[in-house]
Each structure stands twice: as structure tokens, then as C-alpha cells.
């Protein structure tokens, strides 16, 4: 594996994000955060189709749809209960793969199709002593301060559980408002995102305009679909046909400020320790295009919503899932 592992890892250039409105509700923008403070887990479990779900939707039905999408390997990034662009793209890809009109809107037919893999959307999980043992530490933003840490672990148990169950930590807390996350033996409800292993992918297609990665079988059928943060105006995606050279799990990160246009003047070369909050996340998938790779991220909420410094970023769980499907020689097509 190359020593310049993450030369172009994804620092974040935030793009405008349009907040979804509360469909079917008279809740104003100013009052929405208070209205969303608690999510009734029982309602999520029993959520039924009453109207199409689209960019104006949020709440229990959306949470259920997002969980079911994850279970069939059509990722929405973080499960957050809001029908954003990542959810729309996942729904559209699922519809296309199953012979439904690819509208990106959950209609009755799409809802019924997803329920074929029904079962509880939320399942109980008991917090263990190992969970609460950590260690947990606040992760500094400055790269030089990161370099002083022996590992880039989780900042809290809530963050760790959010990654394990593909859910926004704040939503996990809202689903379990009366629970103590620092108490071994405490039973909480978590998204039921356990999936069956996927077969080896014949190829990957990465689309910059859509900000997605699609894993295909040898007949061109979709095996898995992920939202991604891909390139920028300064570091555009290198369009073309490449291949995977190798995979490195739990990578460290070699930081060279000379290679980053937004590095601070007082920064120096440094090695950043491994961990889920490492800039490259928990896995690096090396591409034959020099300096480029597919990798995880310490900021799952930014995936599909921000640009990168050239590489292709996924949530840590999606990067880990993709890594099980590919290997040296897997073709990768990069498209605008």
C-alpha cells in the first residue's frame, strides 16, 4: 500500500443543504426542532403507508423506509428520519433495480416492495460493559493536535453506537429519551440494519454528478448502492476506467500540508493514528489512479452533502461493506 495513503482525503467543503419541511404538519421552522425532540419508537415499528414519501417528508415512516433500504444494501448514509437527497437516490436506485418507475418517491408499490424484507424496524440492544469502557475522547479539529493522539477513537458511546447501527446519534438519543447510554445492562432500541453478506462485485460505477457508488454483478445488476462525497472544482474526479489495487483496514494517515490548498501556514508533516475518527476512516480502498482511493470518514452526516479533496468518501459502515465485495483487480469506472 502506498505511503501517500490519503493524500487527497476528504476535508469538508460544505455545500448548501435544503432542510426538508414537515409534510402534513403546520409546524413552523422555528418550532420544528422542539417538535422533533422525541421520536416514538412504537410509531416507527407500526408505521404504515398513508401517502407518498418525498422531499417534504420526515418522521416515523421515513425512518422505517431508511432502515429497510439499509437492510437491502441501498444506503441512505445516516438514518436520520429526513427524506433528503441521499434517501431519494437510494429509493430511485432500488426502484430501478426492481423494475419500478425510478421516481425517487416512495409510492404504494415501492412501500410494498420494501416490506417484503419487513420484520421489526427497531430491535432491542443491551449496552455492555465493553461498550461503556471506551476509551472516549474529544477529537480536536486541528490536524497538528490530532497527530498528538495515540488513536483516533470515538468521542462518545453515542457516536460509537450511531456508527454501529447506521443512525444519526441525535436520532438514536431521541428514540431512547428515558435511557442511560452510560449504564451497562441498559436496554435501548436501535435500527435493525443487520444484513446478509453480499457476493463479490464484478465492477463499481462512481458517478460524480449523482454522488453515488454502485456495485454491480457480472450481468450489470445492482448489488449495493451508496451515497458518496466526490471531488470538487479544485480536485475533480479523474474520469475514466481504473481498478482496485488493494484494501487497507484501520489505516493511519500521512498528512502533508503542502498537498492541501486550505492547510494552515503553521502545519507540518505528521502521521495521524488509526481509528474511526481518522481522516480516512476505518478502511482505504486503493485505486490504480495515483493518489486516489475510496475511504471512510469521521463525519458521516456530511456524506453526499459536501465535496472532497479528490477522493471518494463513504460512511465508515458503507466503506466497510464495500470492502467485503471488492479486491485487487475489481474494475472501477469513474463518471461525471
Q: Which structural domain range is residue 288 located in? A: 198-335
Q: Which residues of the chain have pLDDT under 70?
A: 1-37, 117-118, 231-235, 261, 306-310
User: Looking at the domain assignment, is residue 260 inside a domain?
Assistant: yes
- Tell me the CATH number at 293: 2.40.440.10
What confidence score (pLDDT) does residue 148 get? Answer: 94
Q: In 3D, which of 55, 12, 58, 54 has the Cα closest to residue 39?
A: 58
User: Looking at the domain assignment, is residue 127 inside a domain?
Assistant: no
* Number of domains into which the chain is organized: 1
What confidence score (pLDDT) does residue 196 get? Answer: 84
Write the DSSP assignment of 217-279 as a string of letters: -TTS-EEEEEE-EE--SSS----EEEEEEEEEES--EEE-GGG-TT--TT---EEEPPSTTST
User: Looking at the domain assignment, is residue 227 inside a domain?
Assistant: yes
pTM (2 decimals)? 0.86
* Segment holding 187, helix H or strand E: strand 187-191
Distance CA 228, CA 23 (A): 27
Distance CA 63, CA 83 (A): 9
Residue 29 DSSP SS3? helix
Q: Which residues contact 196 (CB under 8 A, 6 or more apart)?
A: none
What confidence score (pLDDT) does residue 256 get? Answer: 82
User: Looking at the domain assignment, is residue 40 inside a domain?
Assistant: no
User: Looking at the domain assignment, is residue 330 inside a domain?
Assistant: yes
For residue 109 the three cell numbers come to 408499490
Distance CA 110, CA 236 (A): 35
User: Looking at the domain assignment, is residue 306 inside a domain?
Assistant: yes
Q: In 3D, which of 335, 272, 212, 317 has the Cα closest to residue 11?
A: 272
- CB of 321 closer than 8 Å to CB of 224: yes
What confidence score (pLDDT) does residue 224 get? Answer: 97
User: Looking at the domain assignment, is residue 268 inside a domain?
Assistant: yes
What confidence score (pLDDT) does residue 96 get? Answer: 96
What confidence score (pLDDT) does residue 6 get? Answer: 37
Q: In 3D, which of 300, 129, 139, 118 has the Cα closest to residue 226?
A: 300
- CB of 251 closer than 8 Å to CB of 323: no
User: Looking at the domain assignment, is residue 242 inside a domain?
Assistant: yes
Looking at the DSSP bridge assignments, the partners of residue 243 are: 331
Amino acid at each position: 500500500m502506498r505511503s501517500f495513503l490519503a493524500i487527497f482525503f476528504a476535508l469538508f467543503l460544505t455545500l448548501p443543504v435544503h432542510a426538508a419541511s414537515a409534510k402534513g404538519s403546520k409546524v413552523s421552522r422555528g418550532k420544528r426542532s422542539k417538535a422533533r425532540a422525541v421520536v416514538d419508537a412504537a410509531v416507527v415499528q407500526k408505521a404504515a403507508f398513508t401517502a407518498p414519501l418525498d422531499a417534504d417528508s420526515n418522521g416515523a415512516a421515513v425512518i422505517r423506509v431508511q432502515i429497510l433500504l439499509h437492510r437491502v444494501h441501498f444506503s441512505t448514509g445516516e438514518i436520520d428520519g429526513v427524506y433528503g437527497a441521499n434517501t431519494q437516490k437510494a429509493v430511485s436506485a432500488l426502484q430501478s433495480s426492481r423494475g419500478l418507475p425510478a421516481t425517487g418517491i416512495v409510492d404504494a408499490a415501492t412501500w410494498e416492495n420494501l416490506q417484503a424484507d419487513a420484520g421489526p424496524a427497531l430491535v432491542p440492544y443491551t449496552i455492555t460493559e465493553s461498550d461503556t469502557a471506551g476509551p472516549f475522547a474529544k477529537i480536536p479539529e486541528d490536524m497538528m493536535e490530532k497527530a498528538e493522539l495515540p488513536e483516533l477513537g470515538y468521542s462518545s458511546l453515542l457516536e460509537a453506537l450511531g456508527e454501529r447501527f447506521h443512525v444519526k446519534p441525535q436520532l438514536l438519543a431521541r428514540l431512547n429519551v428515558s435511557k442511560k447510554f452510560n449504564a451497562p445492562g441498559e436496554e435501548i432500541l436501535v435500527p435493525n440494519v443487520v444484513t446478509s453478506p453480499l457476493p463479490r462485485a464484478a465492477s463499481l460505477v462512481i458517478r460524480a454528478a449523482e454522488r453515488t457508488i454502485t456495485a454491480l454483478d457480472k450481468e450489470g445488476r445492482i448489488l449495493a448502492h451508496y451515497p458518496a462525497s466526490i471531488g470538487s472544482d479544485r480536485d475533480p474526479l479523474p474520469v475514466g476506467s481504473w481498478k482496485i489495487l488493494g484494501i487497507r483496514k484501520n489505516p493511519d494517515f500521512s498528512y502533508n500540508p503542502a498537498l492541501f490548498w486550505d492547510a494552515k501556514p503553521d502545519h507540518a508533516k505528521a502521521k495521524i493514528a488509526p481509528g474511526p475518527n481518522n481522516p480516512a476512516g476505518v478502511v482505504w480502498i486503493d485505486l490504480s489512479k495515483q493518489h486516489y482511493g475510496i475511504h471512510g470518514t469521521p463525519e458521516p452526516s456530511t456524506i453526499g452533502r459536501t465535496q472532497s479533496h479528490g477522493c471518494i468518501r463513504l460512511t465508515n459502515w458503507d466503506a466497510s461493506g464495500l470492502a467485503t465485495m471488492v479486491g485487487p483487480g475489481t474494475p472501477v469506472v469513474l463518471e461525471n
